[in-house]
Structure 1
Amino acid sequence: MTNDPLLQPYQLKHLTLKNRIMITSHEPAYPEDGMPKERYRAYHVERAKAGVALTMTAGSASVSRDSPPVFNNILAWKDEVTGWMKKMADDCHDEGCAVMIQLTHLGRRTRWDKADWLPVVSASHEREPAHRAFPKKMEDWDIQRIIGDYVDAAERMKAAGLDGVEIQAYGHLMDQFWSPLTNDLDGPYGGSLENRLRFTFEILEGIRKRCGEDFLLGVRYTGDEDLPGGLTLTDGLEISQRLKASGLVDFLNVVKGHIDTDPGLTDVIPIQGMRNAPHLDFAGEIRKATNFPTFHAAKIPDVATARHAIASGKLDMVGMTRAHLADPHLVRKVIEGREDEIRPCVGANYCLDRIYQGGMALCLHNPSTGREIEMPHAIAKAEAPKRVTIIGAGPAGMEAARVAAERGHAVTVLEAADQPGGQIRLTALQERRREMSSIIAWRYDQCERMGVTFRFNTYAEAEDVLATAPDEVVIATGGLPHTEVLAAGNELVVSAWDIVSGDVKPGQSVLVYDDAGDHAGLMAADIAAAAGAKVEIVTPDRSFAPEVMAMNLVPYMRALQAKDTVFTVTWRLAEVQREGNGLKAVLGSDYGPVRRERLVDQVVVNHGTRPLDELYFELKPQSKNLGEVDYEALSNGGLQAVAPNPGAAFRLFRIGDAVAARNTHAAIYDALRLVRGL
């Protein structure tokens, strides 16, 4: 028995949910051939085993052939989906976890050149900025066809044994009917609010008639588009009351905002540096006005906020979706009184940004998410404990230390700085990205709990490493900025790290040359602009910061545009020359023999890092494996067994940026899969 509001059961019609924590519908883009196969099932079952009360799959499953997936969505219009969904539902039900799915027609939120190359359809010809397709305005036969598709898809889910379905109505076809901005139909489906809602209610009526009263039915919808001319809060309250009064739905799942642009999407699903739970009070208003079961999720990353949402009566079920990507065992840790051991979601949004670029969802600092089959979250003990020495306490080194300690090895970490963090320490200096520090803090706490030995202020030499008498040595020393990329004038530039760290103050007129496309270049530009500098960002790429990705780009663009920053694409910095008290930056192009010049007083170069690898190469001849890695074993979760120099005392490996400049996820994934194979 417990008094924790989060752990109280909730009665939703005939279904008893064992606690108040749910995973809201989202598409991790794990389907294969449009079906939720083994990878998809393993992802949801892992979280079901850990105690979550309700998991909602898909975000969203497509009900029609002319709603082609742009996020590798589940194809709910195919009969074969029933068998795959049944396997998932059965496995989750065996763990006491309820299962629902979100159904949708994307409407204009897709492209005509996907799948069968059918026209995109909507309630008007208005194009969605994000996907750029001009839709066909729906005819009467389109409307009736799609209503039938929704009902058929719901029936497939009932046949699969799911507890219910949720209809998606924000940014997709359903609320393209609702909004005056995207509905200029005549007659019964356009004009008044009642007419604009007719499409929705005919779908709900059809599902209820086909699937019966014992099949739960809800709507996830925007209660306020927050757009001039769009749906207002008044409209949202009216829609909420109509949904309740219809007697067709069993719960409301409310959001606020619009998702037709990257900035709009980012406000609906906030990222790091943005306020936690920004729409919780709004959802509470809907619940108070309707006195009806209300669900909500939007950057509720921590247990304390979730507990408040339930205890204050704002919500009946609280969604902690990205939090469960970071730690699938969140609920179990709450039940066991181990909240301080929950791996925190840091809001980096690597998960969603990857989806919107066509990849599958991965957590920035939990590489097992989405890889539950080949890289399980549980770490097995090693057959024989070893002495493992790790050089470097950045994200790669800290993960290596954590995993080695979980395996039962005796671990020593040598770090040149006075505290752990590596490049994360630089990143977290920017207030907007300070949540990144939790990546290190969580690992340091775990390592301390397991008895890892840390030696800070130790710039490790070979003899320092050998003095630990190691069986395994892991080099995680990271890299240093590489700025020597010019034909002339390399000595006249500073690195993005120099600006971010504060070692060099921004000038008054600053050219940031970003040829890496990651956060460092934008952070340097942001700092310079905030200090009052006139800033121009130059990149040889066709777009800015492609490694930062869409939603993470939004806060930078808002800050930089407010400071009148100039953005210049497709130009490459060729050389820098002194000119009086300033600098002349000469730009060239990959597209032809053209040149441009800029007169500035500071040039900042962001061109990634080069490995800090001297120690590795010094130790390599003395190692048992001569630094060699068995890539097949690394890729498949096997044990490392390469030993071309068997008489040596230790094996040697390097990970993260000590190998090559990549990102935080790559560094942590390197460490996890290597060390669990030692």
Structure 2
Amino acid sequence: MSNDPLLQPYQLKHLTLRNRIIVTSHEPAYPEDGMPKERYRAYTVERARGGVALTMTAGSAAVSKDSPPVFNNLLAYKDEIVPWVREMTDAVHEAGSAIMIQLTHLGRRTRWDKGDWLPVVAPSHLREPAHRAYPKKIEDWDIERIIKDFADAAERMQAGGMDGVELEAYGHLIDQFASPITNELDSPYGGSLENRMKFCLDVFAAIRKRVGEKFILGVRYTADEQLKGGTGKAEGLEISRRLRDSGLIDYLNVVRGHIDTDPGLTDLIPIQGMANSPHLDFAGEIRAATNFPTFHAAKIPDVATARHAIAAGKVDMVGMTRAHMTDPHIVRKIMEKREEDIRPCVGANYCLDRIYQGGAAYCIHNAATGRELTMPHAIPKAEAKRKLVIVGAGPAGLEAARVAGERGHEVVVLEAANEAGGQIRLTAQSPRRREMMSIIAWRLAQCEKLGVTIRYNIWADAETILSENPDVVIVATGGLPHTDVLAEGNDLVVSSWDIISGDVKPGTNVLVFDDAGDHAALQAAEILANSGAKVEIMTPDRSFSPEVMAMNLVPYMRSLQNKDVTFTVTYRVESVEREGNGLAAHVGSDYGGVSKTRLVDQVVVNNGTIPLDDLYFELKPLSVNGGEVAYDDLIEGLPQTVARNPDGRFQLFRIGDAVSARNTHAAIYDALRLVKNI
């Protein structure tokens, strides 16, 4: 038996959990028609195969028709979900893990124009800022109906083979009853703490009566809303004791904070640049005060912190949820004493931010997550060894090198700079985004183990490539800033990269023209503002920084608003000319009828990149395939067999920003799905 605290079993009522690591409830937005079909099942089962003790699905599954999901959630109010759940639970159990599901009624945390267009209900008429719906004040018959819906849904989950259900009680309807901010009801469900907790306990009582004693029930709840007028720490401790003393539940899953706004959500589920495990000590206080099984997850991305959480008795089960989106095989690697091989979560929050914009959750640097049906987490060996030359050691090039190395190929990477990283190294100049360098560091370490050769300070040309006698050449040279976007005055502007890299000194009165909406504009603006400059960010879009997305935007706004940065939407910089010692930026609008001038001393343009593709076009006539990618074969996971030039000496491909300006995930996905079949 291992003496590692993380690998010790834990007895939760009748259920023996094989170690102390869990994946807490979360919704990756993979359901089809509200059901956990093949894609959802494959994602969930992969984490079980990786060794996790307990995986919790759905964040959260809806129990009622007037709780329509605002993104793609499971619909636990439908009987047809049972066989789909059964297929998933059987597969997870076969892999050795326990499985639970989180159930909820969203209350006001949804919209009336979703699903069946039923009124949103809550214990007050107060809208939630994040979803903007004004709710109907809940009535007695609503309460009776919803309590029954919870019990019905739990019974379905039990019939589907779940080991238990967890109720979501932070930000959703149960918490809206418990919080004095959102509960304006009279007795018996409003007023005193006892009354405000009554709905939660009535729901648990109805579920327990329906499912019996041999079924795990838990609650994920906020024990401190950290919100003026809300549930504070003292009341949260009392709520914790009352939940324990109810005799209805088997564990507490503690969070701290509120999720009704983007800043609140980001503090509760911190992202990169924010402190790791910020609420772990608080969860430990709950466990000490209740002496009751306690679970917790909130930015615990590394094994060392998780091990401390268990060894120090802070919690009984530690959640590493986003970490398991990055690497589903964490536990197996711990057991095999290969912790250095664990792909690190960098806190980029691409996963969560995507679902809050209506997309599916993807990990920024594991392109197999959510694509388990088509993309491998473990790369198989190739039938025959080939030689690959990869040009560029950014995220795309290094992923291609890693995957090729795993395939058993001979791999040579040529990099023009004196170190690897590409645009990742640039973006990591921001202290808040330094964790991004782990994307590069992990791949460099993996490439070293796999025998990949990386040569720096080499500006590769066709002669260089031919001297390597490759079978396959992959151009991953990235791109350069695209600033030639104005009718006049392009020679007078600088790029966001110039500011971030420090190659250009900040001005004192600066206009940042952002037509890309990504991190670079905000990073440049932050550097400018921190230097003391007056800064205006202008975009022709109707909202600023759409590619940054909600939770990543929060730290930027806290920094930039503090420096009085101005944000101007729906205006476009059309031209720039010199005026005295400064610059005149002429501003128009896509909506027409506008002509303005900004007098500044610096204009920064952020408009993505132009592919650095000269080498690709130099090599194209020398290649077998003429650079062509058979898209159907790429999508189907088949090898590339295009042969356009019988005299060609190698296959040629380009990936990442060498094709077009996209993002880190796209670059890594390009590399994985191409090279896994070479």
TM-score by length of 1: 1.00
Alignment of 1:280-299 (within 5 A): 280-299=280-299
Distance in 1 between the 2:366 and 2:486 partners? 37
CA RMSD of aligned residues (A): 0.6
Alignment partner, residue 454 of structure 2: 454
**Conservation of the 8 A alpha-carbon contact between 2:405 and 2:411:** yes
Aligned letter for 2:16?
T
The offset of 1:353, in angstroms, is 0.2
Alignment partner, residue 28 of structure 1: 28
Q: Between Structure 1 and Structure 2, how many residues are aligned?
A: 678
Alignment partner, residue 203 of structure 1: 203
Distance in 2 between the 1:11 and 1:278 partners? 27
Alignment partner, residue 553 of structure 1: 553
The residue matched to 1:91 in structure 2 has which SS?
A: helix
The residue matched to 1:187 in structure 2 has which SS?
A: coil
Alignment partner, residue 76 of structure 2: 76
Aligned letter for 2:263?
P
Tell me, yes or no, if structure 1 residue 213 matches structure 2 residue 213: yes
The residue matched to 1:59 in structure 2 has which SS?
A: strand
Distance in 1 between the 2:71 and 2:305 partners? 29
Distance in 1 between the 2:613 and 2:95 partners? 47
The offset of 1:677, in angstroms, is 2.0
Distance in 2 between the 1:439 and 1:506 partners? 29
Alignment partner, residue 345 of structure 1: 345
**Post-superposition CA distance 1:621-678 (Å, at most 9, x none):** 0100000000011112111010111331101000000000000000000000011122
Aligned letter for 2:582?
G
Distance in 1 between the 2:629 and 2:516 partners? 27
The offset of 1:64, in angstroms, is 0.2
The residue matched to 1:594 in structure 2 has which SS?
A: coil
**Conservation of the 8 A alpha-carbon contact between 2:180 and 2:231:** yes
The residue matched to 2:594 in structure 1 has which SS?
A: strand
State the 4+ residue runs in structure 1 displaced beyond 2 angstroms.
Answer: none
Alignment partner, residue 138 of structure 2: 138
Aligned letter for 1:551?
M
**Post-superposition CA distance 1:11-70 (Å, at most 9, x none):** 001111000000000000000000000000000111101110000000000000010011
Alignment partner, residue 320 of structure 1: 320
The residue matched to 1:485 in structure 2 has which SS?
A: coil
Name the % identity: 73
Aligned letter for 2:612?
L
Aligned letter for 1:596?
K
Aligned letter for 2:456?
F
**Post-superposition CA distance 1:190-243 (Å, at most 9, x none):** 111111111111100011111011000010000001011010001100000000
The residue matched to 1:454 in structure 2 has which SS?
A: strand
The residue matched to 2:67 in structure 1 has which SS?
A: coil
Aligned letter for 1:422?
G
Alignment partner, residue 435 of structure 1: 435
Distance in 1 between the 2:662 and 2:212 partners? 52
Alignment of 1:493-572 (within 5 A): 493-572=493-572
Alignment of 1:269-288 (within 5 A): 269-288=269-288
Alignment partner, residue 372 of structure 1: 372
Aligned letter for 1:241?
R
Distance in 2 between the 1:341 and 1:374 partners? 23
Aligned letter for 1:513?
F
Distance in 2 between the 1:450 and 1:200 partners? 53
Alignment partner, residue 17 of structure 1: 17
Distance in 1 between the 2:302 and 2:518 partners? 27
**Post-superposition CA distance 1:375-428 (Å, at most 9, x none):** 121212111110100000000000000011111110000000111100000011
The offset of 1:593, in angstroms, is 2.1
The residue matched to 2:70 in structure 1 has which SS?
A: coil
Distance in 1 between the 2:313 and 2:204 partners? 27
Tell me, yes or no, if structure 1 residue 254 matches structure 2 residue 254: yes
The offset of 1:96, in angstroms, is 1.2
The offset of 1:304, in angstroms, is 0.1
Alignment of 1:570-609 (within 5 A): 570-609=570-609
Distance in 1 between the 2:278 and 2:597 partners? 45
Structure 1: gaps spanning 5 or more residues: none
Alignment partner, residue 239 of structure 1: 239
Distance in 1 between the 2:135 and 2:103 partners? 20
Alignment partner, residue 662 of structure 1: 662
The residue matched to 1:16 in structure 2 has which SS?
A: strand
Alignment of 1:37-116 (within 5 A): 37-116=37-116
Distance in 1 between the 2:358 and 2:616 partners? 36
Aligned letter for 1:537?
I
Deviates more, 1:375-384 or 1:557-566: 375-384
The residue matched to 1:538 in structure 2 has which SS?
A: strand
Tell me, yes or no, if structure 1 residue 612 matches structure 2 residue 577: no
Distance in 1 between the 2:71 and 2:212 partners? 31
Distance in 2 between the 1:187 and 1:296 partners? 32
Aligned letter for 2:35?
M
Alignment partner, residue 472 of structure 1: 472
The residue matched to 1:446 in structure 2 has which SS?
A: helix
The residue matched to 2:595 in structure 1 has which SS?
A: strand
Distance in 2 between the 1:123 and 1:467 partners? 73
The residue matched to 1:532 in structure 2 has which SS?
A: coil
Alignment of 1:127-166 (within 5 A): 127-166=127-166
Distance in 1 between the 2:137 and 2:175 partners? 15
Distance in 2 between the 1:213 and 1:462 partners? 71
Alignment partner, residue 630 of structure 1: 630
Alignment partner, residue 228 of structure 1: 228
Aligned letter for 1:588?
G
**Post-superposition CA distance 1:462-504 (Å, at most 9, x none):** 1111110000000000000010111111111000000000001
Distance in 2 between the 1:208 and 1:118 partners? 28
Distance in 2 between the 1:540 and 1:648 partners? 46
Alignment partner, residue 643 of structure 1: 643
Distance in 2 between the 1:501 and 1:633 partners? 40
The residue matched to 1:166 in structure 2 has which SS?
A: strand
Alignment of 1:380-391 (within 5 A): 380-391=380-391
**Conservation of the 8 A alpha-carbon contact between 2:181 and 2:229:** yes
Aligned letter for 1:257?
G
Aligned letter for 1:398?
L
TM-score by length of 2: 1.00
Distance in 2 between the 1:220 and 1:134 partners? 25
**Post-superposition CA distance 1:227-262 (Å, at most 9, x none):** 110100011000000000011010000000000000
Distance in 2 between the 1:35 and 1:471 partners? 45
The offset of 1:186, in angstroms, is 1.2
Distance in 2 between the 1:43 and 1:630 partners? 27
Distance in 2 between the 1:294 and 1:81 partners? 29
**Conservation of the 8 A alpha-carbon contact between 2:223 and 2:255:** yes
Distance in 2 between the 1:236 and 1:596 partners? 54
Aligned letter for 2:2?
T
**Conservation of the 8 A alpha-carbon contact between 2:621 and 2:648:** no
Deviates more, 1:283-292 or 1:640-649: 640-649
**Conservation of the 8 A alpha-carbon contact between 2:57 and 2:100:** yes
Tell me, yes or no, if structure 1 residue 489 matches structure 2 residue 489: yes
The offset of 1:443, in angstroms, is 0.4
Distance in 2 between the 1:247 and 1:612 partners? 65
Distance in 2 between the 1:134 and 1:465 partners? 63
The offset of 1:267, in angstroms, is 0.3
